[in-house]
A and B are shown apart, each in its own frame.
Chain A
Amino acid sequence: MTETPPAPAADRGRLSSLTRLWPFARPYRGLVALTFVGALLATLTQLVIPLVTEAVVDGPIADGDRAGLVPLLALALGFGIAEAALFFLRRWAMNISSLQIERDLRDTLYQRLQRLPIAFHEGWSSGQLLSRATSDVSTIRRFVGFGGVFLVVNLVTCVVVGALLLLTCWPLGVAVLVTTVPLTFFGVRWEGRYNAQSRQVQDQYGDLATDVEEAVQGIRVVKSLGRSGLVFSRYDRKAVRLRRLELEKVRTLALIWCLFEFHPQITLAVLLVGGALAVSSGALTVGGLVGFIALFTVLLWPILSLGFLLAQAQETASACDRIGELLDAPLTVTDRPGVRPQPVGTPARLRFEHVRFGFPGAGGPVLTDVDLDVDLDVAPGETVALVGATGSGKTTMTALVARLLDVTGGRVTLDGHDIRDLPLVQLRTVVATAFEEATLFSMSVRENVTLGRPDAGDDQVAEALRVAQADFVHDLPWGLDTRIGEQGLSLSGGQRQRLALARAVLGRPSVLVLDDPLSALDVHTEALVEQALRDVLAQTTALVVAHRASTVLLADRVALLEGGRITAVGRHTDLLAEVPAYRALLSSDSELAGTAERDR
């Protein structure tokens, strides 16, 4: 027997995705149950007022008994109030549970996303993530808070009334059952189509959000090249496609709606004919027919509403799928089971042992066989500068140290421990990184600098700021409490870079990784930073990516990264003398080449 291929997604009744919601609904199952009870009881109380009317007509009115009116009216009033109260109860319970489920779901999603590896985030557009955390989560809340309850209530009504119909008069009941066959057939088809279309629409929302995000965050480039027309037409194409997809969805929904609206009416006609024939053949009394039809009319609204409630359920199912894709994404960079903190000294010995790394789906590996020993024996707290051409893999190599990326072969060790045998929290505490692009968040200067060490004291902060020559913060309107970042004060490029540097050196980490940390500084400030940084570097192990000779001089040794391996390690002057590739990259001659060219 060969295995049957899996059915295409659209054909499977994917309402099963809704089961994903259960863990989130579980804590609120009491409230959810209350919702159902409220809905059911309210339906029952609705029957009382007509009954009272009947009693009034048959009792006090027939007898002319004015006093007898009072208790009946009081009864009607009481049930009227009870109905409203039950209504309120249902809505109240629904609000509380659905909003809490929404909140929990969004929190869970956010927490999970934060812990997914960088590789995941590079592969996903942020607009897709955003649309899942907002629109899809809201879709689910709407269903939980409204559609879900009525879907169940109406289904139950249909089944109960259906059974009653069968009991009342089985031939007519069977006729009703038969009419549900085409209903189910087309219903399943169209609901499946609706599910697929909802998915497309939701994906398109994500794409649109991505475009919005890029257009807004890249506004400087757009403006400086005057390309708002181009960016608009890109966005417009997607918005127009969204409209087309939405309209397709609307058409399917309209079909479904019509199907479920047409069905009970036609069934009614069938019942009239069948019933009339039954009556004329004597199988049924007129009263029986009236009763049967009256019972069936109870079903008109529940059947009709099933159409769009099921559609809503489909939409929710595909929202669940979309969110599930994120929740199911593997946490590839995590603690191995049973890891325990290991002793790591300050400074620590950092080694790359036959490290290989390749980005998934990107040609050959970036690092083929990196061997590098940042060794304490050479000098306590050694600093190694990493030099290599643009795109040679320096940033990639630095990202391996804090396990922002995981090696695909070989290992990185700290004081002899494979870094994957350290708990992530410990690893990222002993390793501090300054990235080539200074990322500041919308918070106070202090919070930005103490990002990795919230417990740092004022003197430590002051020390870090001094090392990074970031004293300008004291001149900001509120000093260290000034909010910076997007929602606060904008800083110049050099100011941002120095704050990112201060953040990394704060608290003297065991291992310091600096990716081209001085690129945005002027020569003078650079010299000052270097001077101050020497002190820090003397006491920690450091890996410093450098493009400029001046930065290289911070290091005790230099490693040349070339073709995915370290091809030379040594002192700057030695390498200049001995390694042509190094000379080409870093000698003053080449840096002066531009000048020479011009002077010719």
Chain B
Amino acid sequence: MTSSGTAAPVTTASGAPDPVVGPVDVHADWRGVAGEDAEEVSASGSSFLRGRSRRLLGELLRPHRRALWALLCVILVQNAAWLAGPLLVGIGIDHAVPALLAEPADPWPLVWTTAAMVAAAALDTGLRYVFLVGSGRVGQAVLLALRRRVFRHVQQLPLAFHERYTSGKTISRLTSDVEALAELVDEGLDGLLTALSSVLAIGVVLLVLDLPLGLVALLGFPLLLVLGRWFQRRSTVAYRRTRQTIAALIVQFTETFGGIRAVQAFRREPRNDELHAALNEENRRAQHEAFWLIAVVVPAVTMIGNLVTVAVLGYGALRVMDGDLAVGVLVSFLLYLRRFFDPLQDIAMFYNSYQSAGAALEKLSGVLEERSGVPDPVDPQPLPHPVSGEVVFDDVRFGYGGAPVLPRLDLVVPAGQTVALVGATGAGKSTLARLTARFYDPVEGQVRLDGVPLDRIADADLRRAVVMVTQEGFLFSGSIADNIAFGRPTATRAEVEEAARAIGADAFVQALPEGYDTDVAQRGGRLSAGQRQLVGFARAFLADPAVLVLDEATSSLDVPSEVLVQRALQTLLADRTAIIIAHRLSTVEIADRVLVMEAGRVVEDGSPAELVAGTGRFADLHRAWADSLV
């Protein structure tokens, strides 16, 4: 269940890649082979899961214990008031109407009964309002607490978790699963409390009315218990499946519309229709299975109720004939019996919602118990102030779970140095960058900043000191100013504009209809790729860290824009440490030092001038590049 932080599952259970797995029919296995599926139902079994989710529910409800008890009292009184209505009408007909007809007519009994009825109705309604609003409040508070908890937790989990778990599944946890719980909150509590209270009350009445008949009536209970056990076992499995199938649908949905351009350009729609229909059908089946169970249980409860009624009727009739029982007792007993079994159906319905929510809670508690593989240190070591920015890789080994990507790396980047990383694609440049920003922890060895191992630095301190800008430059929906200010939320508008001006983004922003207040639309869809990179860059510029890591951060810019960015960088980087990954060697030339990487190793190391003058790979690369410029 725990993620080891550094090891994402890439290999089979046996560890070694298995070339024989190749499927015969390509289309039957279009998804392709991946390592073990990151499904979280563990071997420790279902009682473990149930325990875990019950614990979570308990934790969520604990702060509301008092309110829940109060609500229980309210609903009990309210029920009594509701039941009083019909009773009072009976009294009215039996006593008030005759009093009115009597000579002399006495209107007071009628007045009193009517007044009592109105009072009961008012009490009932008032308490109902209190109950509904009160339970709504508790329910919403629980949901809010749950949302906060899961969101915060997911934010804090390491990248390795997100890569393994996938965004679609995380999204489905935070939306659909929480909503399953909301359904329980919406529908459940009221019915349960009402039903429980009437079942208990009527059960007692039955026993008091006539003990032998009462015992016969209770004969139904063992049957109900058996039924309940059966339902519980089957529905746990069934609802667990529905959580998976709905998550699969959400994954398909988010992937499709995340890549809608490719979907449409490559005419993927019909195939996606098929895939979605299959997942949707699977979801329907899973739900059908779960709903079928409740469709059996509710009529079964009715059936048991009817059987018991017939038994009571037969046995009671015989006893009446024997003179052991009054007819009136038998009749009212039968009336009560009906009221006894009807609420049991409500309880069954509640239990059903509970099972459904329980399956969602299992998934949520699974995410919540996920421990960070890249944890915040318990007793963090402070960084010197100001951070000077020396980065050291000390005998670092790293892999994503499969083959090692960095077999053994020793590297010292003195404070203030600008280092360029070049090398073939897949050489491990981005990996090195990610280790510097502590997206992962090394499998072996240490990465240190100013002599402090990264895993001993408090997250907030580390993020202030080290900032990484990637090629994608993910933008959040909101204005351009908001997005730039993401680098430093306390920045004033002037500072934001200053940062944009410094890297040459000001011109295009000013040209937009609403300037810095233009909404970038989701994921920056309103901007061109280069413009997005500029905004991402301005963000890092504003953050102004001691160590700046740039992973192909200017790859989509035209040359003049890139030159502007470089000028800004030279100012910014004057006393900063920087690790720059770039394929355009023009970017590289602003570096003090160049590292050439190959298959996870540094194979050349020196100043740009030295390397160009030499005969190594960089000299080759540089020649090729210079030739390409024509």
Contact = CB atoms under 8 A, between A and B. Distances in A.
A121 B263 CA distance: 12
Contacts of B466: 224
Given A265-B85, A268-B89, A441-B255, A56 B306 contact: no
Nearest to A86: B299
A91 B557 contact: no
B257 A286 contact: no
Contact of B30 (A214, A362, A444, A595): A444
A44 interface: no
B257 A220 contact: no
Contacts of A246: 136, 140
Contact of B266 (A50, A222, A452): A452
Q: Is the interface of A mostly helix, strand, loop or mixed?
A: helix
Interface stretch (A24-32, A235-243, A341-349, A371-379): A235-243
Contacts of A79: 306
Contacts of B117: 265, 268-269, 272
Interface stretch (B64-72, B214-222, B233-241, B272-280): B272-280
B2 interface: no
A416 interface: no
A359 B120 CA distance: 64
A553 B590 contact: no
A283 interface: no
B379 interface: no
A131 B175 contact: yes
Given A254-B136, A428-B266, A446-B26, A590 B258 contact: no
B380 interface: no
Contacts of A195: none
B492 interface: no
Contact of A435 (B120, B262, B303): B262
B264 A447 contact: no
Nearest to A485: B255
A489 B34 contact: yes
B46 interface: no
A49 B305 CA distance: 12
Interface stretch (A157-165, A176-184, A524-532): A524-532
Nearest to A426: B267
B334 interface: yes
Contact of A215 (B143, B155, B523): B155
Interface stretch (B121-129, B383-391, B447-455, B494-502): B121-129
A262 B119 CA distance: 11
Interface string A392-406: 001100010010100
A519 interface: yes
Interface stretch (B96-104, B197-205, B223-231): B96-104
A170 interface: no
Contacts of A335: none
Contacts of A523: 583, 585, 621, 624-625, 628
B263 A232 contact: no
B299 A492 contact: no
Contacts of A494: 425-426
B320 A590 contact: no
A188 interface: no
Nearest to B294: A91
Interface string A118-132: 100111011001110
A436 B585 contact: no
Interface string B307-321: 101100110011011
B310 A80 contact: yes
Interface stretch (B11-19, B54-62, B408-416): B11-19
Contacts of B22: 478-481
Contact of B271 (A49, A107, A253, A454): A454
Contact of B624 (A83, A275, A527): A527
A145 B290 CA distance: 14
A115 interface: yes
Contacts of B424: 522, 524-525
A568 interface: no
Residue among A87, A213, A240, A359 having the largest count of chain B Cβ atoms under 10 Å: A213
Contacts of B460: 226
A50 B474 CA distance: 69
A135 B472 CA distance: 31
A77 B558 CA distance: 85
A21 interface: no
Interface string A441-454: 11111110001101
Interface string A236-269: 1001101100110011011101100110011011
A225 B543 contact: yes
A570 to B, nearest CB: 15
Interface residues of B, number: 204
Interface in A520-577: 520-527, 547-550, 553, 572-573
A61 interface: yes
A486 B255 contact: yes
Interface in A64-86: 64, 66, 69, 73, 76-77, 79-81, 83-85
B613 interface: no
A99 interface: yes
A212 B256 CA distance: 17
Contacts of A95: 288, 291-292, 295
Contact of B521 (A123, A399, A525): A123
Contacts of B101: 279-280
Contact of B508 (A113, A240, A276, A390): A390
B299 A478 contact: no
Contact of B34 (A52, A218, A482): A482
Interface stretch (A1-9, A148-156, A289-297): A289-297
A272 B512 contact: no
Contact of B425 (A362, A520, A573, A593): A520
B566 interface: yes
A84 B306 contact: yes
A114 B561 contact: no
Contacts of A394: 528
Nearest to A89: B299
A76 B260 contact: no
Nearest to B543: A225
Contact of B121 (A266, A516, A594): A266
B381 interface: no
A428 B430 contact: no
Given A49-B309, A53-B334, A91 B262 contact: no
B310 A99 contact: no
B207 interface: no
B486 interface: yes
Contacts of B477: 125, 210, 214
Contacts of B4: none
A441 to B, nearest CB: 6
Contacts of B45: none
Interface stretch (A10-18, A316-324, A407-415, A581-589): A581-589
A216 B31 contact: no
B339 interface: no
B263 A114 contact: yes
B302 A114 contact: no
A483 interface: yes
Given A446-B26, A594-B590, A254 B317 contact: no
Contacts of A56: 313, 317
Interface string B455-478: 000011011101111111110110
A83 B299 CA distance: 8
A598 B611 CA distance: 17
Contact of A80 (B170, B303, B402): B303
A216 B561 contact: no
Contacts of A240: 144
B167 A216 contact: yes
5 contacts: A228-B155, A232-B148, A437-B472, A439-B262, A597-B563
Given A110-B276, A226-B464, 7 more contacts: A91-B299, A118-B260, A209-B175, A218-B476, A390-B534, A402-B265, A444-B30
The 3 closest A-B pairs by CB, nearest first: A226-B463, A444-B32, A494-B425
